[in-house]
Structure 1
Amino acid sequence: MLRILTFNANGIRSAAKKGFFDWFARQNADVLCVQELKAQEADLPEEIRRLPGYQGFFHCAEKKGYSGCGLWTRIAPQAVRTGWGDEEFDAEGRYVEADFGRLTVISAYFPSGSSSEERQAAKYRFLERFAPHLLSLKEAGREVVLCGDVNIAHREIDLKNWKGNLDHSGFLPEERAWLDRLFDDMGWVDVFRRLDPRPERYTWWSQRGQARAKNVGWRIDYELATPGIAALARATDIYAAEKFSDHAPLWVDYDVTL
């Protein structure tokens, strides 16, 4: 089995202090994708940058303490790319891509639009430009697993208070329609949802009030996959028993050997 684990750390050094890597060491994961590092590579502690048994690759934002993606793998990749060729968003450190034979694994951090109208407009620009990139990956004949914080809940089942969020960033009709097109027109698969149809399975909770304690959450972290590798997904889970971040780690096991 190939285990791929994804996690928005909301600060990788903070998550490490809260025990994330102690927990991760027991998960037998082959690939770890992390978003929102909030650190430059040079600022990462040696034990994180060179995680024992893994190679790490990073795409950090030009702005310090902001965004950033990492991908750690215990299987040597044939090629690694940081950034996806978009000047605006590559400056924000949102993309690491690694090739393993015909399989590509991506750690990606989609913009959030919740802070301002300007950031929502930036989110729409990202989605508009990113879709052709995903299409080109799929049309190249590669199997792809894209791990990341997409910052969109797809359906009503994917957030607790959906009625109250119909006009909020992360559940806007245009955002959800983008995922519809990704799944229905381009053939990508929401791997977690294919394996786990249960309600109240969330990966993010607001820091305000008692949202996490009451499980008033959103499922905005995904493993999105092309059909071939998606069909080989056998098990998945979200680990929320410990709080390493305002997000919870999510993993999927694929019946494939690299």
Structure 2
Amino acid sequence: MRVVSISVNGLKQAIENGFFEWLKNQDADVVCVQDHRMRAWEFDDPRYTPEGYEAYFIDGEENEQGSVGIYTRHFPKAIIYGFANEQADREGRFLQADFDKVSVACVLAPCALGQEDEPLGDTDETRLDHKDAFMQAFGLHMQKTLRKRRQFIFGANLQTAHHVTDTSPRYHKLDVSGFLPHERAWLDRLFEEMGCIDAFREINKEGNQFTWWPEWAEGWRKHAGWRTDYQLTTPGIRRRIEDAWIDDSTRFSDHAPVIVDYDIEIGF
């Protein structure tokens, strides 16, 4: 089974920039799409579903909140919209497809980079507070998930890099969301205490492996990035991870796709 995870920064623009042409050559079974910025009803239009795939998408109350979706070549047994967290579910940040032997979920964390102290709406909550609240809620969901016997894969843009090897050195001393000590400590707990697997790092230990670059880094991507996009798995999948890579040659988004091959039969 091949799973692709990609944060597209607006699906319509990504399609115009060649996303579907790229996808034709990937032989992907499941594609997790974050930050599509569309209304769910728009996916009734066949222009927004690549040939051979079924589309399942959830939107937020506002398009700029992002929202997530799943393209799959296999009919799922069930689709789960949200993870029972009111704020995250209103913003369309979680979608899960259950197949016979595995569940695949798509996740998008809020972004607070460069807007850490900006008030959110008419409340005293800042954008960093909002992101932290989501991460706490998602962490509790992951604790429950990791105790289940069923196996899970999460294609996730967590808007956070984990180790210094996951960001360009130029970012290491910046006091910005995405690489703050408490955000990285959350990932420590996820991987080291809860036992969640970072599928890409399970296979690929090389440096300069990034999935997101600021706009001004165009043209020299490999030297100015962050690895904020993940495929997270339950421990039972660790030995079934066959290959993992980042396609940083793509240009349909300022994120690059994370592609992982698993020794799992997805069909019935």
Unpaired runs of at least 5, structure 2: 118-125
1:104 maps to a residue whose letter is: S
* 1:224 pairs with 2:232: yes
Where in structure 1 do 4 or more consecutive aligned residues deviate above 3 Å?
47-50, 209-214
Q: 1:161-189, CA deviations, whole angstroms, 9 ceiling, x for partnerless residues?
A: 24233x21001111111111111111101
* 1:156 pairs with 2:170: no
Distance 1:240 1:58, change over 3 A: same
- Alpha-carbon offset, residue 215 of structure 1: 2.7
Report the Cα distance in structure 2 between the residues aligned to 1:49 and 1:164, rounded to whole angstroms: 41
In the alignment, what sits opposite 1:129? 137
* 1:256 pairs with 2:255: no
2:116 maps to a residue whose letter is: S
Q: Trace 1:194-213 onto structure 2 (pairs within 5 A).
A: 194-208=202-216, 210=218, 212-213=220-221
Deviates more, 1:113-122 or 1:217-226: 113-122
Contact 2:116 2:177 in 1 (8 A): no
* 1:77 pairs with 2:76: yes
In the alignment, what sits opposite 1:116? 116
In the alignment, what sits opposite 1:98? 97
* 1:169 pairs with 2:177: yes
Q: TM-score, normalised by structure 1?
A: 0.94
Contact 1:104 1:143 in 2 (8 A): yes
Distance 1:57 1:162, change over 3 A: same
* 1:55 pairs with 2:63: no
Contact 1:205 1:212 in 2 (8 A): no
Determine which of 186, 190, 193 is the counterpart of 1:178: 186
Please state whether the residue corresponding to 1:237 is helix, strand or coil: strand
Deviates more, 1:202-211 or 1:156-165: 202-211
Please state whether the residue corresponding to 1:240 is helix, strand or coil: coil
Contact 1:205 1:215 in 2 (8 A): no
Distance 1:182 1:257, change over 3 A: same
In the alignment, what sits opposite 2:24? 25
Aligned length: 256
Report the Cα distance in structure 2 between the residues aligned to 1:48 and 1:153, rounded to whole angstroms: 34
Contact 1:41 1:49 in 2 (8 A): no
Unpaired runs of at least 5, structure 1: none
Contact 1:108 1:148 in 2 (8 A): yes
- Alpha-carbon offset, residue 75 of structure 1: 1.2
- Alpha-carbon offset, residue 158 of structure 1: 0.1
Between the two proteins, what is the percent identity of the paired residues? 35
Distance 1:214 1:143, change over 3 A: closer
- Alpha-carbon offset, residue 210 of structure 1: 4.5
Root-mean-square deviation (CA), in Å? 1.5
Please state whether the residue corresponding to 2:4 is helix, strand or coil: strand
Report the Cα distance in structure 2 between the residues aligned to 1:216 and 1:145, rounded to whole angstroms: 28
Report the Cα distance in structure 1 between the residues aligned to 2:63 and 2:229, rounded to whole angstroms: 23
Determine which of 235, 246, 249 is the counterpart of 2:254: 246
